[in-house]
Amino acid sequence: NAGVTQTPKFRILKIGQSMTLQCAQDMNHNYMYWYRQDPGMGLKLIYYSVGAGITDKGEVPNGYNVSRSTTEDFPLRLELAAPSQTSVYFCASTIGETQYFGPGTRLLVL
């Protein structure tokens, strides 16, 4: 049981490039989330999913897209990367009330 995993750990993107941040969990959790954490700041919800095939926007969805084709995977897509998307991205999953976070992906857009 690996919990919540994320890849890559770190990535540098040029402005305008695209990439997909991967998130997977092996705990059969229905609820999954993507947060971003800017330096020295709190957690902002980007997108979330309540189950396979169902996704919804959080408070900061602009510039991102998600999909949830399986219970295990919840990738986050960045199209046309901008410097404002420089951040640490955390994926999380929940069963019941407890939310578990992945180790994070540090993204630098230059």
Instruction: Return the residues of window 21-40 that contact other proteins according to CB under 8 A.
Output: 31, 33
- Provide the b/e sequence for 65-82 (b: ≥16 CB within 10 Å): ebbbeebbebbbebeebe
Secondary structure class of 81 (helix, strand, coil):
coil
Is 99 an interacting residue with respect to other proteins (CB under 8 A)? Answer: yes
Q: How far is the CB of 54 from other proteins (least distance, A)?
A: 11
Tokens of 57: 């926007």
Contact indicator for 74, 53 with CB cutoff of 8 Å: no
CB closer to other proteins, 14 vs 40: 40
**1, 28, 62, 98: which one contacts other proteins (CB under 8 A)?**
98
Q: Which is nearer to other proteins, 58 or 75 (CB)?
A: 58
Shortest distance in whole angstroms from residue 17 CB to other proteins: 25
Stretch that binds other proteins, among 15-23, 68-76, 77-85, 93-101 (CB under 8 A): 93-101
Asked whether the CA dihedral 94, 19, 66, 51 is positive or negative, the reply is negative
Nearest to 39 by CA among 103, 107, 100: 107
Positions in the binding site for other proteins (CB under 8 A): 31, 33, 41-43, 45, 48, 50, 58, 90, 94, 97-104
